[in-house]
Every structure is written in C-alpha cells, then in structure tokens.
Structure 1
C-alpha cells in the first residue's frame, strides 16, 4: 500500500505558505489598484494594509466554511 508523499510537517508548512500567499495576493492587489488610480504612496500603503486585513478576514471566512463542509461530509 502506498502512503502519502509528504509528511504532516511538510503539509503544515505548505498550508501556511499557501495562506500567506493568498493574503499577500489580496493585499498587493489592493495596492496595485490604488496605484493604477493615481493614488499617492501613502494612499497606496493604506490600500495594501486594508487589503491585507480583508485578505485575512476572507481567509478566516473560507476556513470556517471549509471546516463546516468537512464536518458535514463526515456525518454522511
């Protein structure tokens, strides 16, 4: 029988990197959108900060939805 190709520690590291990349992508896209709208550097920095907060909140929401989905799949 063949087992998983990665260890639990490697899976946790990959999951953490994916989450960090997702939040960073949302934050940076906010800053780039602000720059495209001719924002000042301060406004762009503020847009990145707000984008990071929105990305974190979105990640938390998606994690809770995912956990609920996994729990409902186990009950069947």
Structure 2
C-alpha cells in the first residue's frame, strides 16, 4: 500500500513555511510598490508593515475558507 510521502511533522513545517512565505510576499510587494512610487524610508516601512498585516488577514481568510471547503467535501 502506498502512504503519504511526507510525515505529519514535515507536512506541518511545510505548511508553516508556505504561510509565512505568502504573508512575506504580500508585505514585500507593498513595500516595493511604495518604493517604486518614490516613497520615503518611513513610508516604505509603513507600507511594509501594513502589507504584512493585510497578508495576515488574507491568510486567515484563506485558511478559514479552506477549512470550510474541507468540511463540506
């Protein structure tokens, strides 16, 4: 019989890394857009912080939608 290719611990670590990468990508993109728009250093840092917060909210939403989808499946 064929089992899962990842152990439960490795699956948790990979999921955590994917989530952190997603939030980091959203935050970094907000900072880079501010930088490309000619923002000051403080404005870039604020945009980065707000982008990380928005990324966290998006991640929360996607996790909750995914959990609901798994329950109804």
Q: TM-score range by the shorter chain?
A: over 0.9
Count of residue pairs the alignment pairs up: 73
List gaps (5 residues or longer) in structure 1: none
- The aligned residue for residue 48 of structure 1 is 48
| Structure 1 runs (4+) greater than 3 angstroms displaced | none
Offset from partner CA, 1:6-41 (integer Å, 9 cap, x none): 100000000000000000000000000000000000
How large is the RMSD of aligned CA atoms in angstroms? 0.4
* Partner Cα distance (2:68, 2:6) in 1: 25
- How much does 1:2 deviate? 1.1
- The aligned residue for residue 72 of structure 1 is 72
